[in-house]
Amino acid sequence: MSAAAPPIPSGMVAKARWHLRHNPKADLWVAWWSIPIAYNIMGMVYFTITHMMPPPDPSKSQAEVVEFFTRYGFEIRLGFGVMLVSLAFLVWANGLIGWLIMKMDLPHAKAWGYAYMLAMCGGGFTGAYMSAFTMSVASLRPDRDPAMLQLLYDATYISFDGTMGFFLFGSLIWTYAILADKSRLFPKWFGYTCIWNFTTEFLVSPAVIVQTGPFSWNGTIAFWIDTIVYIGWQVIYVFMLYYAIKRVDPPKDRFRSMRLANLPGSRGTSVASTSGLSPQPA
């Protein structure tokens, strides 16, 4: 299809350049790398910079909420700045997974792939962005009316926990696609582990009702068990995506085959024959 590629050079930069230039899966690999990098930045922001995780007590008094925002104000705003820059790269992960679903052997695979991408992108908007804004606005003026700070505090954690439907649907779509896929792009057992993930989305829902106990937003079940399951599943899925990219056929580009047909002397390779249609008899 294209000219023979030169041998892979040694040295990291030269190697990376070779892959970007000649590896037909370069875009898939870059999208794959965005997952560990962007999720690690996000984890660092939530757990170490902003102190948003592990979540503080929902039953904090107004004075304690004021104290929380006064103490961590600058870190909260700095951390969310870092997160807002890196968050868009999670769309690459969603795009990669949605695209892999499109490549599966199941009825209407493309529609399943689009549905996955849209569901997950919506989830990033409500789950991550809204909580980042309410938290930043609260910490921007900790001298605000304490009742309003408490409102923003509740809005942060409830919008973070209470908009899990996007992720529920995203995981449900991925689970179905993996289990129904005849080409076994992902192993079947991984499809069953996806069930863990969407179960956590159910378990978190009481957090929008109760203020104490294991189901509150900082509780043993709604936060700790869910987060541990989610992170464990996330580690598995990074590896599963690695093997799926290795296994999947490289993207077939219409433009490439169109250009091939334009080359002088290669009229035999028509668009029809590269797209799998039988050529018309002359």
Partner 1 sequence: MPRILDHTLLLSVPVIGMIWIAAFLVFPTWTPLPPTLSAADVAAFYSDSGNATRVQYAMIVFNWFEIGMVGLYAMIALQMGRMSHGGGPLAWVYMAVTLGGACMFAAANCFWIVAAYRPDRAPEAIQLLNDLGWICFSVPTGFLIGQAVTLAFAVFLDDRDGRVFPIWVGWLNVLAAIAWVPAAFGALYLTGPLAWNGWLTFDLRIGTFAIYNAAMFAAAWTARNRLAERDLAA
* Minimum distance of partner 1 from residue 140's CB (angstroms): 6
* Selected binder of partner 1 within 68, 69, 92, 153 (CB under 8 A): 92
* Minimum distance of partner 1 from residue 264's CB (angstroms): 12
CB closer to partner 1 out of 88 and 111: 88
3-state secondary structure (DSSP) of residue 141: coil
Please confirm whether the linkage preceding 9 is cis (ω < 30° from 0): no
CB closer to partner 1 out of 94 and 197: 94
Query: Rounded to an integer, what distance in angstroms lies between the CA atom of residue 158 and that of residue 131?
Result: 8
Tokens 């922001």 — which residue?
A: 45
Q: Segment contacting partner 1 (CB under 8 A): 42-50, 207-215, 228-236, 256-264?
A: 256-264
Subset of residues 189 to 248 that bind partner 1, contact rule: CB under 8 A: none
Cα of first residue to Cα of last residue in the chain, in angstroms, is: 24
Q: Segment contacting partner 1 (CB under 8 A): 39-47, 83-91, 166-174, 210-218?
A: 83-91
CA trace torsion 174, 178, 182, 188 (10° rounding): 180
Q: Segment contacting partner 1 (CB under 8 A): 55-63, 96-104, 160-168, 172-180?
A: 96-104
Q: Segment contacting partner 1 (CB under 8 A): 27-35, 188-196, 207-215, 219-227?
A: 27-35
* Minimum distance of partner 1 from residue 263's CB (angstroms): 10
CA-CA distances (angstroms) from residue 36 to 43, 119, 170? 10, 21, 19
CB closer to partner 1 out of 8 and 195: 8
Tokens of 219: 């509780």
Supply the DSSP string of 169-190, one letter for each residue.
HHHHHHHHHHHH-TT-SS-HHH
